[in-house]
């Protein structure tokens, strides 16, 4: 494992619509904790089921790649997420995953699937929400 990192490979998944400070907080937490980070962005089909007026996958990916280029270009890879869990339940080298309070339960389900698949559970790095000046959670839906 690389010097100063607690984990070898951290997974991050989400829509990443209109990349904002809350997203950057998640990404920063993963980049600080792990030598390698895999970011999995929901496909257009998945994003369209979640909300209207979503940016395209390409736009969301390009905004994320700009962040990667500035913060951890050699340690972060970006992938398309086409199902609820992505590679996490069977990923042989992942050892951590980033969650928010809402996604914590899903990460627990992923860990149950990993155990069924004979893999160690992922360490869950829970990142609290970033609040704006009105003490409201910063979110893409509010920005839209």
pLDDT tens for residues 19-45?
988 899 999 999 999 999 999 999 999
Contact predicate 1/39, CB 8 Å: no
Fold adopted by 7-143: Rossmann fold (3.40.50)
Q: Which two tokens stand for residue 96?
A: 């951590």
User: What average pLDDT does the segment 101-122 reach?
Assistant: 97
Give the pLDDT confidence of 49-96 residue by residue, as tens digits.
876 778 999 999 999 999 999 999 999 999 999 999 999 999 999 999
Cα(89)–Cα(112) distance, rounded to whole angstroms?
8
Q: Is the pTM of this model over 0.95?
A: no
**Could you tell me the residue ranges of all domains in the chain?**
7-143
Give the pLDDT confidence of 2-11 residue by residue, as tens digits.
678 999 999 9
């Amino acid at each position: 494992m690389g010097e100063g990192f607690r984990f070898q490979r951290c997974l991050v998944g989400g829509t990443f619509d209109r990349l904002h400070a809350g997203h950057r907080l998640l990404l920063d937490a993963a980049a600080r904790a792990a030598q390698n980070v895999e970011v999995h962005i929901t496909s257009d089909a998945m994003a369209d089921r979640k909300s209207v007026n979503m940016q395209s996958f390409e736009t969301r990916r390009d905004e994320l790649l700009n962040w990667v280029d500035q913060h951890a270009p050699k340690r972060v890879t970006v992938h398309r997420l086409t199902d609820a869990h992505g590679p996490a339940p069977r990923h042989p080298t992942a050892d951590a995953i980033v969650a928010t309070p809402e996604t914590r339960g899903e990460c627990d389900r992923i860990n149950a699937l990993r155990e069924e698949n004979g893999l160690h559970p992922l360490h869950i790095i829970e990142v609290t929400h970033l609040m704006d000046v009105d003490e409201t959670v910063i979110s893409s839906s509010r920005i839209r």
